[in-house]
Amino acid sequence: MMIDDRTAPAPGGAPGRTTVSARALEHLAVGLARDLARVPRRDVSVALADDRGSLRVSVTVPVALQGSRRESVVDSGAALRHGLISGMQELAGRTVGTVDIRYSGVRKIAETRVA
């Protein structure tokens, strides 16, 4: 089980401890991947592992096809990788060293219009 157990001063200088469980990190990674890949939560799978002190994130998502919007798999993979690295750092203070992306299938996403 991975637990981030860093002690940092709380606002106002009060000492304290922030503990982030492995399950919380996994849920955060799933949420980030879902938003970045633009697919439903049920289509996202994430596995976390230690990678010599940093975090290794393995993600499985379908390729999302959305109406006339087309993006290459390489470009969407790069955006997903960058978003996971920056999101985990910003939101959980975790350094992600490696992101492995596996595309499994294709998901057509309906365009929604706002009136």
Candidates 38, 35, 34; CA nearest to 46 is 34
- Across 95-112, average pLDDT: 87
Higher pLDDT, 12 or 21: 21
CB 74 within 8 A of CB 63: no
The yes-or-no verdict on residue 1 having pLDDT over 50 is no
Domain ranges of the chain: 16-106
Asked whether residue 7 carries a pLDDT value surpassing 60, the answer given is no
Q: pTM of this prediction?
A: 0.79
As to burial, measured by CB atoms within 10 angstroms (0-12 exposed, 13-18 middle, 19+ buried), residue 33 is: buried
What single letter denotes the amino acid at residue 12? G
pLDDT tens, position by position, 14-43? 788 878 899 999 999 999 999 999 999 999
Residue 108 has pLDDT above 70, yes or no: yes
Between residues 9 and 46, the one the model is more confident about: 46
DSSP letter for each residue of 41-95: GGG-EEEEEEETTEEEEEEEEEEEEETTB---HHHHHHHHHHHHHHHHHHHH---
CATH class of the domain whose range is 16-106:
alpha beta
> pLDDT above 70 covers what percent of the chain?
82
